[in-house]
Amino acid sequence: MKYEGLAKEIIKNVGGKKNIISLVHCLTRLRFKLKDESKANTNTLKNMDGVVTVMKSAGQYQVVIGNHVPDVFATIMQLTELSSSQNSEEAEVKGVLNKFIDIIAGVFTPIISVLMATGVIKGINAIILATGIISKDTGTYQVLNAIGDSLFYFFPIFLGYTSAIKFKLKPFVGMAIGAALVYPGLNQLSTENPLFILFQGTAFESPVYSTFMGIPLIMGKYTSSVIPVIFATYFASKLEKKMTKIIPQVVRNLMVPVIVLVTIIPITFIIIGPVSTWLSTLLGVLAMSFYNFSPIFAGVFIGAFWQIFILFGLHWGFVPIGMNNLATLGYDNVIILGTAIPLTTAGVLLAILVKTKDKSLKNIVIPALASSICGITEPALYGITLPRKKPFIITIICSAVAGMIMAMLGAKSYVFGATGVFAIPNFINPEVGIDSGFYAYLIAVGTATVLGFILTYLFGFKDEKDNNIKEGNESKTSVEKNIWQESILAPIQGEVKDLSEVEDEAFSKGILGKGVAINPSEGKVYSPVNGVVTTLFPTGHAIGITSENGIEILIHIGMNTVQLDGEHFIPRIKQDDEIKKGDLLLEFDISEIKKAGYSLITPVLVTNYENYLDIIETDEKEVSQEEELLKVIV
């Protein structure tokens, strides 16, 4: 397995398999639910190869991996033998907001990628219809429309499954509840004249067309609905748990689902569905009231804070609002106010890419730029904009401007899911084609993207390598003007290599820090600075050091050597030990590690390089212990 080493380290540092209650993933993050978060080694995980950062939000322990998170997830699931319907005892999620976010994230995360995919297909279909390439009566349009609508039209069935997983109900029972809500025969009951109307003349007006055992049935429109099936599966899970205790085991597999379905589905049509529908209507009314109170304020607020919501995982709380608006209104004009973030981020990144002369930074920006254009901003957020602060602030400002323009000009989205450039077709009106709302979105996003580029280029980014360190005499002058500089000695004797020559992209693209690599000729690691051993991996293959002046250094012996599980590595120090320059930290057996098939190329990095003006690398091709390897300019 390609990511087995990384997966094993993550499992170990979240407290081991026994500490994991459940695991899901989104586009870039592993979302653990742990029994005891205090058992997780957060600092170790943050400094680990292949991990971007770690966050704690809504009762979840989130390990940000990047675009290859599905592969890491699959490997962890295989190694731990976890299942998506893990039946371990749930850890308590404290706080009403955290519980709400936890439920929404648990229900929507498993289907978000398919939701985005169907949204893209529906958007493409809208484009080719609006441009006259095909018409609505062609088979091509109908097939593409069926693909695009497949998830959203039958949403209660999909949510019935994911809600059942979340609430620990048998998944197919949840699907059966969802299927009943969209069953065509029941929906046809509402085509006749109603027997009577409840709450007539209000926003909650509900016609009654039929009865169940004499009890009025309020047949709402449940296709594409969100809230009713979530509530129904929740109550079904409670009933199933009680019936499992009561029903004899010999008939339990048959009778428990029978009792749950024949009880919950009628109750859903009589009580749960109508109440949920009224709540949906109220949610829509509140969202629109917030919008109508001041569209400009709503645009600025949601646009400005959307990236912050993403940062803390709070954006999940807005998902039901957007989905509900589409189901009840046919469009959404509230949640879209934050959708400029990906392309705004792309504009900021493009400015950095154009301005910087730093090859390692370029290597980070290019893939992050591609991800942002496609709608995924986490690589840019954690790796580039947030650490540098000004680009992050500019992204917020420009997104607020975009939200304000959308609100002022009346942009509306008719499809949910796709982001980045793929979100553009979402704003094509399916009834009339391209209208003013579509152009409003283009103007808003275009303005924010261009403004993000200009502000970042002029004020938001200073190319430290270009401005502070020049060749020849300018280098000396620049160094003399700085407050101080610190030398980092070579911790290993050997041949100096450029980081770009390291096979692992986390090192070669500078994601984990700036520095060089050494191909060792001696199996000893010495301290390059005076400081403290802040991290010593149990496998002995990597050491984290913090110097007396706060410089954070990572020494990573070999590639994928974590898989040796400590064999051929002999640590001579312990974590938290104080060390001096030249102290022996570790010994390793070069010949045995090579025999095992592992590369010994060893990156030596300054991981908190963004705190300094520059990291100057040695010009020497060979270094020995006590020779200068890196110079940190402060």
Per-residue pLDDT, averaged over 551-556, amounts to: 92
Across 413-426, average pLDDT? 83
Residue 586 binned pLDDT confidence (cut-offs 50, 70, 90): very high
Q: How does pLDDT run across 266-282, given as a tens digit for each residue?
A: 998 888 878 877 776 77
Distance CA 451, CA 112 (A): 30
Q: Is the pLDDT assigned to residue 483 strictly greater than 50?
A: no
Q: Is 416 buried (19+), middle (13-18) or exposed (0-12) by CB count in 10 A?
A: buried
> 573-585: b or e for each residue (b if 16 or more CB lie within 10 Å)?
beeebebebebeb
Give the pLDDT of residue 468: 40
pLDDT of residue 101: 65
Strand order in the sheet with 60-64: 20-25, 29-34, 60-64, 53-57
Give me the residues paired with residue 32 across strands: 23, 61
Residue 456 banded pLDDT, cuts 50, 70, 90: very high
Is residue 467 pLDDT above 70, yes or no?
Answer: no
**Region of poorest pLDDT, from 144-153, 283-292, 381-390, 603-612:** 283-292
- What are the catalytic residues? 26, 556
Name which residue leads in pLDDT, 619 or 436: 436
Q: In the block, which residue shows the tokens 């000396």? A: 476
Predicted model pTM: 0.52
Query: pLDDT by residue (tens digit) across 587-615?
Result: 999 999 999 888 999 999 998 887 777 78
| CA distance to 8, 63, 345, 516, 554, per residue, from 384 (Å) | 27, 17, 10, 20, 19
For 7-44, give the secondary structure using H, E and C: HHHHHHHCCCHHHEEEEEECCCEEEEEECCHHHCCHHH
Average pLDDT value for the chain: 83
pLDDT at 80 over 60: yes
Residue 319 confidence (pLDDT) above 90: no
Statement: residue 457 has pLDDT above 90: yes
Q: What tokens were used for 25?
A: 């993933």
Nearest-angstrom CA–CA distance, 396 and 305: 7
Q: Does the structure show a pLDDT above 50 at 349?
A: yes
Distance CA 264, CA 266 (A): 6
Model confidence at 458, pLDDT cuts 50, 70, 90, reads very high
DSSP type of residue 427: G
Task: State how far the Cα of 631 lies from the Cα of 633, in Å rounded to an integer.
Answer: 6
> Cβ(30)–Cβ(62) under 8 Å?
yes
Confidence of residue 315 (pLDDT cuts 50, 70, 90): low
237-252 pLDDT tens trace: 999 999 999 999 888 8
Separation CA 438–CA 411 (nearest Å): 6
Whether the pLDDT of residue 114 is over 50: the answer is yes
pLDDT category at 626 given cuts 50, 70, 90 is confident
pLDDT in the model for residue 477: 36
Cα dihedral sign for 394, 396, 401, 406? positive
Q: What is the mean pLDDT of residues 288-310?
A: 85
Q: And the tokens for 377? A: 């901003």
Structure tokens at 107: 């229900």
Which pLDDT does position 527 carry in this prediction?
Answer: 94
- pLDDT tens for 10-41 read 999 999 988 998 888 766 788 888 888 889 99
Name which residue leads in pLDDT, 512 or 313.
Answer: 512
pLDDT at 57: 64
User: What structural domains and CATH numbers belong to the chain?
Assistant: 4-92 (3.30.1360.60), 154-293 (no CATH), 295-462 (no CATH), 481-633 (2.70.70.10)
Closest CA to 548 of 564, 560, 530: 530
Q: pLDDT band for position 520 (50/70/90)?
A: very high
Mean pLDDT score, 422-439: 88
- What average pLDDT does this structure show over 496-518? 84
Whole-number pLDDT of residue 417: 66
Residue predicted with more confidence, 351 or 91: 351
For residue 555, the model assigns a pLDDT of: 93
Residue 530 DSSP one-character state: S
Quote the pLDDT of residue 488. 92
Write the CB contacts of 462 (distance below 8 Å, at least 6 apart in sequence): none
Whether the predicted pLDDT of 410 surpasses 80: yes
**Whether residue 204 has pLDDT greater than 80:** no
Does the pLDDT at position 478 exceed 60? no
The answer on pLDDT for 94 being more than 70 is: no
Per DSSP, 471 falls in state: S
How high is the pLDDT of residue 482?
Answer: 36
Q: How high is the pLDDT of residue 519?
A: 94
pLDDT of residue 153: 84
Note the pLDDT of residue 58.
Answer: 57
Percent of the chain residues topping a pLDDT of 90: 31
Residue 95 has pLDDT above 60, yes or no: no
> What pLDDT is stored for residue 489 in this prediction?
93
pLDDT in tens, 143-200: 988 998 888 788 899 999 999 998 989 999 999 999 998 888 776 666 567 777 777 7
CA 451 to chain centroid, in Å, comes to 25
Exposed e or buried b per residue across 533-563, where buried means at least 16 C-beta atoms within 10 angstroms of its C-beta: bbbbbebbbbbbbbbeeebbbbbbbbbbbbb
